[in-house]
């Protein structure tokens, strides 16, 4: 069992300038990446204090990040208990993927009607960052950035309730991907994301929906299928 309360581990993972505090908007991806890389997993015994030391952050910022991760079903918070990383079961993953398919089929069609050059550039920037993370074998960042691509595409669609709904599904999918056996360098999501952007830029809603469904098919195969013939991050 891993322990994240030890001073030696906290010292080895702290920022090089321990007197500096990390803004909460920067702390969230760093903590989430650590979870996605399974440096913090469902067996880890961590506390607000140990995370505060690991990331050289304030207790208030750590608490806000843990609360956000709890809302996203990534971390389980219970009174008088240590926080723990969630362990979604197969049925919850299946239901989450089904909900994503229903939402994203609509969102990608809407995005085709509203695409703007600056929004498309933001998507391409995310793809480039995701590609770089895969090449550098930064598994946590690759998975998180892949999820951010889908959330940015949802914002582009201009339907706030649907985008908010997807925001409740993507982090849990990312956690499921992190717990799968898929190696980082075999992930091909960034290529599929690039094809999606090209279809959206053309305003080809039918093709974009087809590509999204194919992408989600591959993700379902990764997480629920008997093998890893297709291995993507979503």
* Domains of the chain as residue ranges with CATH: 7-85 (1.10.10.10), 90-224 (1.20.120.530)
In the DSSP assignment, the letter for residue 3 is: B
Q: What are the pLDDT digits (tens) for 48-78?
A: 999 999 999 999 999 999 999 999 999 999 9
Q: Return the H-helix or E-strand segment holding 91.
A: helix 90-114
Task: Specify the pLDDT at position 68.
Answer: 94
Q: What are the pLDDT digits (tens) for 139-158?
A: 999 999 999 999 999 999 99
Task: Specify the pLDDT at position 31.
Answer: 95
Identify the CA nearest to 133 among candidates 29, 14, 215: 29
Collapsed DSSP state (helix, strand, coil) of residue 45: strand
Yes or no: say if 21 and 55 are a contact pair by the CB < 8 Å rule: no
Yes or no: say if 176 and 88 are a contact pair by the CB < 8 Å rule: yes
Yes or no: say if 104 and 217 are a contact pair by the CB < 8 Å rule: no
Which residue stretches of the chain have pLDDT < 50? 1-21, 228-229
């Amino acid at each position: 069992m891993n322990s994240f309360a030890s001073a030696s581990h906290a010292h080895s993972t702290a920022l090089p300038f321990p007197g500096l505090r990390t803004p909460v908007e920067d702390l969230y991806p760093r903590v989430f990446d650590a979870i996605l890389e399974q440096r913090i997993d469902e067996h880890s015994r961590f506390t607000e204090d140990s995370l505060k030391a690991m990331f050289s952050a304030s207790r208030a910022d750590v608490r806000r990040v843990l609360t956000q991760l709890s809302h996203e079903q990534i971390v389980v918070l219970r009174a008088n208990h240590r926080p723990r990383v969630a362990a979604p079961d197969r049925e919850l993953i299946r239901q989450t993927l089904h909900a994503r398919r229903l939402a994203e089929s609509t969102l990608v069609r809407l995005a085709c009607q509203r695409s703007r050059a600056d929004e498309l550039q933001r998507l391409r920037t995310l793809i480039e960052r995701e590609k770089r993370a895969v090449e550098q074998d930064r598994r946590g960042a690759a998975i998180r950035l892949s999820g951010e691509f889908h959330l940015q595409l949802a914002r582009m669609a201009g339907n706030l309730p649907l985008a908010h709904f997807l925001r409740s599904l993507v982090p849990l999918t990312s956690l499921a991907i992190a717990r799968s056996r898929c190696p980082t360098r075999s992930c091909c999501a960034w290529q599929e994301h690039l094809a999606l952007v090209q279809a959206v830029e053309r305003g080809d809603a039918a093709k974009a929906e087809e590509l999204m469904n194919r992408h989600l098919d591959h993700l379902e195969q990764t997480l629920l299928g008997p093998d890893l013939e297709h291995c993507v991050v979503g």
